[in-house]
Amino acid sequence: MESLRENATLASALPAYPAQSGRELQEKIRARTAHAGVLGLGYVGLPLALEMARAGFQVTGIDLVREKVDSINAGISYIPDVSGERLGRTIAANKMRATQSLAAAENLDTLNICVPTPLRKNKDPDLSYVIAAVEAIRNHIHPGQLIILESTTYPGTTREVVLPVLEETGLKVGRDFFLAYSPERVDPGNQQYTTRNIPKVVGGATPRCAKMAALFYEQFVETVLPVSSTDCAEMVKLLENTFRSVNIALANEMALTCHSLGIDVWEVIEAAKSKPFGFLPFYPGPGLGGHCIPVDPYYLTWKAKMNGAEPRLIELAGRINNQMPSFAVRGIGDALNERRKCLKGAKILGVGAAYKRDTNDVRESPAVSILEALREKGASICYSDPFVPMLTIKGQMLKSQVLSTELLQSMDCVAVLTDHSVLDYALIAASAPLIFDTRNALKDFPKANVVRL
């Protein structure tokens, strides 16, 4: 930890650069007169842009989706973690604007790239968004510019993919422009830890790049932790999410084992976490979702295999987590069968569609997978999610239902798939004839009609 504290002070002692462009950028950042830009205005990019604006920077947000650009410029937020009031104030103060034009990069002093990095069907990394973004801004890069990649990716991406494209301009990294990698650590729905107070890991293409990027983040993030390289910074993100994936897999496998033994896995975890050392509680669930945990470990395994390593534990964790939606569907079928009802033709309400609580993100959502599987097995499905007004299941558009006593009583089974904090669990427990709880959301309602994962 002492070395981290020492490194964190390096940015404060940033020396003047011999290149005029570097000195000017340094002065602009410190004075907060630099024109900052963010490419990609999703869960990561929009909160990041607002923090820059809050610190006093003039911010331009770039996104190719017109609806997002129009919404931002109108002061209307499409992300639950960003209040419309805050966004509206920022726009009204002329501290931020959004555009679809990549040419806007020509007028920027800094540019953070926050575009998606999904997986291909064969689980290989898909860097097409990153490559397209970098090739586009290559035509607009200028001396004295700081470019930071935040998209999650495998170690070596910044050095092997991004840097060569930018240096095709004839500009030299660390002298004419500055390049760094800083992994996003956004936790959607978490009101305690936000862009401002989550420590920012920064790795530069050169030591000068690292110091310039750290100086920039210091203006609007409470803690900055420089590391030795972009490769190291890229690996940090993969370790964090692989750690979660592996430990969630252990919790899920424990749930499967406890089920076979007739033991309450939730009671086991609650008792185990009373140990004040050597144990960190993770919880089972219907599967993994979102843009990070189901994806990031595959970036790591792909890179590891490319270099002759065998990441067997990581791959096994992925297989365990991927089977949880099927286990939930079997559990719902078994719960119905015990009540002399058949899954085929049963009326089932899915409570929650987002991949995690208090978000509207349905990417890789296990709730969606479960609803699709139930429909394939002949169940009549509907859903209720206050954050997801519309949902497509196997080509059919569904509208979120408002929870009511009448709706809940009309169902054969209510499956709690996402534990949103705003849901009325007392109403669900009192009204539904059968509840299959995949999140232990009804732990305070130990009734006979509640079956837990």
- Kindly report, residue by residue over 326-337, the tens digit of the pLDDT: 999 999 999 999
Mean pLDDT, all residues of the chain: 93
Give the range of the structural domain holding residue 200, as residue numbers without chain letter: 2-228
CATH number, domain of 79, equals: 3.40.50.720
Q: Check whether 15 has a pLDDT greater than 90.
A: no
Instruction: Report which of residues 2 and 170 the model is more confident about.
Output: 170
Looking at residue 10, what is its pLDDT? 43
Looking at residue 362, what is its pLDDT? 94
User: Are 275 and 222 in a shared domain?
Assistant: no
User: Are 158 and 274 in a shared domain?
Assistant: no
Q: Check whether 2 has a pLDDT greater than 90.
A: no
Which alpha helices (DSSP H) does 150-229 contain, by range? 157, 163-167, 207-218
Q: Report how many domains make up the chain.
A: 2
User: Are 66 and 208 in a shared domain?
Assistant: yes
Q: Check whether 12 has a pLDDT greater than 50.
A: no
Q: Check whether 6 has a pLDDT greater than 70.
A: no
Provide the 8-state DSSP code for 106: G
Last residue of a domain, one of 272, 296, 322: 322
CATH number, domain of 251, equals: 1.10.1040.10
For residue 411, being part of any structural domain is answered with: no
User: Are 36 and 153 in a shared domain?
Assistant: yes
For residue 60, being part of any structural domain is answered with: yes
Q: Check whether 371 has a pLDDT greater than 50.
A: yes
Instruction: Please give the angle made by the CA atoms of 358, 438 and 237, to the nearest 5 degrees.
Output: 55
User: Are 210 and 251 in a shared domain?
Assistant: no
User: Are 75 and 167 in a shared domain?
Assistant: yes
pLDDT digits (tens, 9 = 90+) for 402-416: 999 999 999 999 999
For residue 380, being part of any structural domain is answered with: no
Residues making up the chain, counted from first to last: 453
Looking at residue 121, what is its pLDDT? 80
pLDDT digits (tens, 9 = 90+) for 29-69: 999 999 999 999 999 999 999 999 999 999 999 999 999 99
For residue 433, being part of any structural domain is answered with: no
User: Are 213 and 254 in a shared domain?
Assistant: no
Looking at residue 293, what is its pLDDT? 83
The catalytic position among 209, 292, 382, 413 is 292
- How far lies 120's CA from each of 128, 319, 364, 441, in Å? 10, 17, 13, 34
Last residue of a domain, one of 228, 263, 295: 228
For residue 391, being part of any structural domain is answered with: no
Looking at residue 11, what is its pLDDT? 42
Tokens of 233: 């910074």
User: Are 35 and 166 in a shared domain?
Assistant: yes
Is 363:289 a contact under the CB 8 Å cutoff? yes
Tokens of 184: 């996003």
User: Are 102 and 224 in a shared domain?
Assistant: yes
Q: Check whether 266 has a pLDDT greater than 70.
A: yes
C-beta neighbour count of 196 within 10 angstroms: 15
| Rounded mean pLDDT, 241-266 | 96
Is 366:372 a contact under the CB 8 Å cutoff? no
Q: Check whether 18 has a pLDDT greater than 50.
A: no
| Rounded mean pLDDT, 139-150 | 95
Looking at residue 190, what is its pLDDT? 85
Tokens of 375: 């429909």
Looking at residue 20, what is its pLDDT? 60
How far is Cα of residue 166 from the mean position of the Cα atoms in its chain? Answer: 27
pLDDT digits (tens, 9 = 90+) for 269-303: 999 999 999 999 999 999 998 878 888 888 899 99
Q: Check whether 19 has a pLDDT greater than 90.
A: no
Looking at residue 295, what is its pLDDT? 86
User: Are 212 and 244 in a shared domain?
Assistant: no
Confidence of residue 1 (pLDDT cuts 50, 70, 90): very low
In terms of pTM, does the model score above 0.95?
A: no
C-beta neighbour count of 302 within 10 angstroms: 17
Residue 170 gets the label, from left (phi > 0), alpha (psi -120 to 50) or beta, of left
For residue 122, being part of any structural domain is answered with: yes
**Helices H / strands E in the chain, number of each:** 17, 15
For residue 172, being part of any structural domain is answered with: yes
Strands 58-62 and 35-39, by their bridges, are: parallel
Q: Is 292 designated active site?
A: yes
User: Are 182 and 253 in a shared domain?
Assistant: no
Provide the β-strand partners of residue 351.
384, 416
**Which helix H or strand E contains 393, and what residues bound it?**
strand 390-393
Tokens of 355: 């991949």
User: Are 179 and 242 in a shared domain?
Assistant: no
For residue 442, being part of any structural domain is answered with: no
Last residue of a domain, one of 298, 322, 346: 322
